[in-house]
Amino acid sequence: MDKQNEHLETLTEIRSMMERSSRFISLSGLSGVFAGIFALAGAFVAYKKLVSIDILNDVYRGRGSENPGFSFYTFFIVDALCVLIASLAVGCILTMRKAKRQGLPVWDNTAKRLFINLFIPLAAGGIFCLILLYHGLMGLVAPATLLFYGLALLNAGKYTLHDIRTLGICQIILGLLSSVFVGYGLFFWAFGFGVLHIIYGTLMYYKYEK
C-alpha cells in the first residue's frame, strides 16, 4: 500500500513538473477581478461622456449625421488605454507575487509563447479598431474588441490554464451579439470586460490560489 501511494505521489509530481514546463500557471485570479473593476469604471466614464453630449443613440450606432470629431475619439481611446494600463500593471504585480510564492520564473519560454500568442490577435484587433474609428464606425468598436480579445484568449489558452479558453469563448459570443445589437455595444463591453472578468477571476482565485 505504501509503495502504491509512493508511486502515485511520484506520478503526481511528474505531472506537475510537466505542466509547469509547458504551461504558464502563475496567472493570478485576482488580476482578473481588478481588470473587471477597472473595465466597469472605464465603461461608466464612457457612458457618462456619451450621455453628456447627447449622442448615445446616434453616433454610437454609427448613424449620426455629423462626425463627432477628433477630440471625441481621443477621449475614448485615452479612457480605454487607462483601463488597459491599470489592468496590466496590477496583473503584472500580482502574477510576479504569485510566481515568487510558487518558486517559479516569471519570464521563461512558456511565458514568451503565451505573450506572443496573446499579443498577435490583440495587436491586430487594436489596429482594426483604429481603422473603424477612422471610418467613423464607432458602433462596431466594442464588438471588435470583444471578438479579438476572445480570439486572443482562445489562442493563448494552449500555454496557460485551460479555464481561460472558456472565458475566450464567452467573449467571442458577446462580441457576435454586440455586433447585432450595435446600440448596446458599451453595455456588452462592460459585461464582457467587467462582469465576466470579475466572475472568472474570483473562480480562478478560489480554485487555484485559495
**pLDDT in the model for residue 111:** 78
The C-alpha cell of 42 is what?
472605464
**What residues have CB less than 8 Å from 148, skipping those under 6 apart?**
121, 122, 124, 125, 126, 128, 175
Whether the Cβ atoms of residue 124 and residue 148 lie closer than 8 Å to each other? yes
Kindly state the average pLDDT of the residues 172-179. 95
Identify the band that residue 190 occupies on the pLDDT scale cut at 50, 70 and 90.
Answer: very high
Kindly state the average pLDDT of the residues 90-113. 80
pLDDT digits (tens, 9 = 90+) for 130-164: 899 888 888 899 999 999 999 999 988 888 778 88
Quote the mean pLDDT of the chain: 80
3-class SS at 94?
helix
Query: What is the model's pTM?
Result: 0.79
Kindly state the average pLDDT of the residues 88-105. 82
Closest CA to 144 of 129, 158, 165, 155: 129
Identify the band that residue 15 occupies on the pLDDT scale cut at 50, 70 and 90.
Answer: very low
User: Is the pLDDT higher at 73 or at 175?
Assistant: 175
Kindly state the average pLDDT of the residues 61-72. 51
**pLDDT in the model for residue 68:** 52
* Half-sphere CA count of 163, side-chain side, radius 13 A: 19
